[in-house]
Amino acid sequence: MDLTAEEKHLLEHFRSLGEEGRAEVSSLAKRLAAPGKKTKPPHYRDLIGQEVVRVEGGQTEVLIQVTPFLLNRAQVLHGGVICTLMDEAIGWAVYNNLEEGSRAVTAEIKINFLAAATSGTITGRGRVIRQGKNLVTGEGDLFDQEGNHLARGLGTWMIIQPQS
């Protein structure tokens, strides 16, 4: 089989990842090729392995499995992943509380990092605190599988009314 220069480069990079890294990339490829995924482009949730497990009224729960791919140079869960999970936890609660046809976008979010995570399952819980005509305020918390409080967030979402 003749490989292009780009394919050779990717293969070399894949081999350099080590056994754990190759297993993670293979898992990602399987998630992206799963039934139902071929009809639309992959979403970043597919790339990081996030799962929305509960959306009820103004409360939600989202999960992510910590993998080496999501660790920073200090070998702890990257702050950007924590921010993403917090935004998703609160954002799903906000979205589920909106009137039919409305949308919302994050206007601002503040996160306090309380503890580091290096492995296991991280659970994010979000809830709506107050909803007005144009803005929604929500809060969220992230916990590791032992129940340690990893982060606390507070944010505001702007409601975008449907076009008439």
Residue by residue, DSSP assigns 114-156 as -S---SSEEEEEEEEEEE-SSEEEEEEEEE-TT--EEEEEEEE
115 vs 154: CA distance, rounded Å: 17
Q: What is the per-residue pLDDT across 71-91, written as a single tens digit (0 to 9) for each?
A: 999 999 999 999 999 999 999
User: What is the rounded average pLDDT of the residues 115-121?
Assistant: 94
Q: Tell me the pLDDT band of 5, cut-offs 50, 70 and 90.
A: confident
**pLDDT score recorded for residue 126:** 96
SS3 138: strand
Three-state SS letters, 58-103: CEEEEEEECCHHHECCCCCECHHHHHHHHHHHHHHHHHHCCCCCCE
CATH of 43-160, one of 3.50.50.60, 3.30.110.30, 3.10.129.10, 3.40.50.460: 3.10.129.10
Residue 56 has pLDDT above 60, yes or no: yes
Q: Tell me the pLDDT band of 37, cut-offs 50, 70 and 90.
A: very low
Residue 148 has pLDDT above 80, yes or no: yes
Q: Which tokens is 86 given? A: 């917090």
**pLDDT score recorded for residue 52:** 72
pTM passes above 0.75: no
Bigger pLDDT: 146 vs 18: 146
